A and B are shown apart, each in its own frame.
Chain A
Amino acid sequence: MARYDAFFDTLGLRDWCDADKTDAPLSMAQLLAQAQGDGGEVETPGLPFPSLDELHQACSKIGQTRDLTEGLENGFLSIRSELKYVLDPITQPLSWMLDGTLFVFESAPWWVMMPALLLLTWFVSRSRAVTWFVTFVLLFFAFIDHYEVAMQTLAIVFVCTGISVAFGVPIGIGMSKSDTAQRSIVPLLDLLQTLPTFVYLIPLIFLFPVTESKLYGIAIILYAIVPVIRLTDLGIRLVDKDVIEAANAFGLTSWQKLTRVELPLALPNIMAGVNQTIMMSLAMVVIASLVSAPGLGVLVLRGIRALDLGVGIVAGLGIVLLAVVLDRVSKAALNRVDTRAKTK
């Protein structure tokens, strides 16, 4: 008999355990044991603590470990249609934005796209060096015939970063205003940041068709929104207490305090968060190519699948180049707001 029989007998639970006893599916250990010809009984291996599988042998009411994962899956599947009913319409605009932006980035001729990007670079960075650098990188992408895929990746990064900022900054503000909110959101952010990136994709694949661009959009945003939330919260909490006190003493309303004091003073930190968000969405965009996100990631994936070393490396380096560009531009913007606040 199994190891824990005595335990259930003493507790008087034997009847409960054996009620409607069926032949439960065999656990892996039992199967192995059977295969080795030892009969159904398992000589339980080493560990001295109870495990679900062992308890199951003694009492069939207790589930096996594989029931746990199965239960989780069934649970998810049972609420899937409801979840889909709610999430589908809410997230639909994301698909439109991604598709629209991709369409614009792909179909706009180079003589519109490149000047527009360079103007944007100049506008946010006000740095001649950075603008020249971006010019050369764009020309280089054209030179190696990766211009279009690079534009696709850029389009996805733009949309996802934009949405991350649009949601992340208000969430960060909320967190900075309430310690309770901060305490409850931080573990969630930790989870989002440490959950292996592929794991995001699994439930999403169940919810949305793989052809929908919001599938990868959501995965990227969930992953990339974390730093902008964290740094907005941090930035506002770090605003000089004396200045806040002065704002109170002169009778500023909460809104005036937020818009005139807290956000401007937290801006350098928020910009650092935006920089990180851009970097992380770029990292995720490659993984997202597994679920049909277009761009450089597709080429990386092709390199892996076909063991095509050259294609993979060129596309990978292209992503690095894109990352450097986005990082330099956003850092230059960060420096600009930073020095304006402190002007020497």
Chain B
Amino acid sequence: MTPKVSIRGLYKIFGADAKSLVPLVQGGMDKATLLDQHRHVLGLQDINVDMQPGEITVIMGLSGSGKSTLIRHLNRLIDPTAGEILVDGTDVMSLDGDALRQMRQKRMSMVFQKFALLPHKTVLENAQLPLSVQGAERKQQDEEGRKWLARVGLDGFEGRYPAQLSGGMQQRVGIARALTANTDIMLMDEAFSALDPLIRTDMQNLLLELQKELQKTIIFITHDLDEALKLADHLVILKDGAVVQQGEPQGILLNPADPYIEDFVSDINRARVLRVRSVMRPLSRDSFDGDVAANSNLEDMIGLSDGDTSLTYRVMDGDEAVGQLDMKDLVKALVPRVSGQDTAA
């Protein structure tokens, strides 16, 4: 599969003379030294990420890790110091003003942490914004705007102003606005971070539901590991502007690459996040205590087995048996790996 979006050797250094310092950083100078000796801030270093079409790529990191800077490189709200960003094979850096605007209008839309709606426009006018910018016909603007507002559950709110809505509803408008643009790629910058936990769960479910239907390429930024694990098809973990680990989220959870990530994943409710398919073994016997779906999470399994660790289940993906689940493996998988020990037997 060719990636939809591909980031190659991306560097971002903040400061007046950034370009000339790239070789130094490529030669291995770290953030602290760069700041100390050259008074330049290293934003991102050597980022290489492929984002597959139809997948949700989650970029996770704590504040200051450079994740918001990274997502802004994709539509060039920030220009990189070195490296390339390929969207459908085109280097975004080669686009001039007009072509760049075209790309922002037609190929990438964005959802913001603070919603960034126009306060003087109604909900409908906000949702129509991408189309009205492109100069679409009134009728089409109206239809599309209403359609997507209805799709995110905002029927009947078309005439309200953003300030009259709750945070969650405002972000629904933000999502409707991004969907109205009808782009293949959606950038979501901490889209749900400003919402309270219950609403956040709602919005995550809404996003997954929409994604099942629309199959967009979504790049989602978050600092919340639970959210990342819930949404990600591909998870990228950033620390101090560099990628520490990327891959399938279950894989990262079970095999954290370094102590930083171990630390990160140690607070997670693993039973809820891990899936049967990640802890199963190849089939090696014939009789089982029952069948389970490959995608059920371990919490469900514990419920199903009633805590009995002597049981073994057959794991089914649709109609096909793909492996077996030993409840003892399951229990082991619940304990986070600590550096130096190896729990994955």
**Residues of A in contact with B (beta carbons under 8 Å apart):** 240, 242-243, 245-246, 248-253, 256, 260-261, 264-265, 340-344
| Interfacial chain A residues near B129, Cβ < 8 Å | 250
B residues near A, CB below 8 A? 75, 77, 100-105, 108-110, 112-120, 129-130, 133, 161, 163-164, 177, 181, 187
Q: Chain A residues with Cβ under 8 A from B112's Cβ?
A: 242, 245-246, 249
Contact B77 A248 (CB under 8 A): yes
Complex Cα distance A260/B118, Å?
9
- Residue from B75, B102, B110, B133 with most neighbouring chain A CB atoms (10 Å): B133
Q: Are B120 and A265 in contact (CB under 8 A)?
A: yes
A250 touches B130 (CB 8 A): yes
* Interfacial chain B residues near A245, Cβ < 8 Å: 77, 112, 116
Q: How far is the CA of A251 from the CA of B119 in the complex (A)?
A: 19
**Docked-complex contact A341 and B119, CB < 8 angstroms:** yes
Give the residues in chain B near A251, CB-CB below 8 Å: 100-105, 130, 133
Q: With contacts A249-B112, A250-B130, A251-B102 known, what are 15 further pairs, Cβ within 8 A? A: A245-B112, A245-B116, A246-B110, A246-B112, A246-B116, A246-B117, A249-B110, A250-B133, A250-B177, A252-B101, A256-B133, A265-B119, A340-B120, A342-B163, A343-B161
Q: B118 touching A243 by the CB < 8 A rule?
A: yes
Bound-complex Cα distance A248 to B130 (A): 11
Contacts of A264 in B (CB 8 A): 118, 120
Known: A243-B118, A343-B164. A249 touches B101 (CB 8 A): no
Contacts of B102 in A (CB 8 A): 251
In the complex, 15 of the A-B residue pairs with CB atoms within 8 angstroms, ordered by the A residue number, are A242-B113, A242-B116, A243-B116, A243-B117, A245-B77, A246-B116, A249-B104, A249-B112, A250-B104, A250-B177, A251-B100, A251-B130, A260-B118, A340-B120, A343-B161
CB pair B109 A342 closer than 8 Å? no
B331 to chain A, nearest CB (A): 46
Cβ-defined contact, B181 with A250, below 8 A: yes
CA distance A143 to B108 in the complex (A): 67
Task: Tell me the smallest distance from the CB of A235 to a CB of chain B, in Å.
Answer: 13
Which residues of chain B have C-beta atoms less than 8 A from A252's C-beta? 101, 133
Q: Is the CB of A249 within 8 A of B75?
A: yes
6 nearest CB pairs, A to B: A251-B104, A246-B116, A251-B105, A249-B110, A251-B101, A242-B116
Q: Are B119's CB and A342's CB within 8 A? A: yes
Residues of A within 8 A of B118 (CB): 243, 260-261, 264-265
Which residues of the partner chain A approach B117 to less than 8 Å between Cβ atoms?
Answer: 243, 246
Q: How far is the CA of A132 from the CA of B113 in the complex (A)?
A: 47
* 8 Å CB contact of B101 from A253, A340, A341, A342: A253
**Bound CA–CA A249/B219 (angstroms):** 14
A344 touches B163 (CB 8 A): yes
Chain A residues within an 8 Å CB radius of B177: 250
Q: Which residue of A lies closest to B103 (CB)?
A: A251
Report B256 CB to chain A, min CB distance, Å.
Answer: 34
**Separation of A342 and B163 alpha carbons in the complex (Å):** 6
CA distance A341 to B187 in the complex (A): 27
A344 and B164 in contact, given A245-B116, A249-B75 (Cβ under 8 angstroms): yes
User: Nearest residue in B to A343 (C-beta to C-beta)?
Assistant: B161
Complex Cα distance, B105 from A248, in Å, reads 10
- Residue pair B164, A249 in contact (C-beta under 8 Å): no
**C-alpha spacing A211/B109, complex, angstroms:** 62
Q: Which residue of A lies closest to B100 (CB)?
A: A251
Q: Which residue of A lies closest to B180 (CB)?
A: A250
Chain B nearest CB: distance from A199 CB in Å?
A: 41
What residues on A are CB-neighbors of B116 within 8 Å? 240, 242-243, 245-246
Distance (whole angstroms) from the CB of B344 to the closest CB of chain A: 42
Q: How far is the CB of B307 from chain A (nearest CB, A)?
A: 49
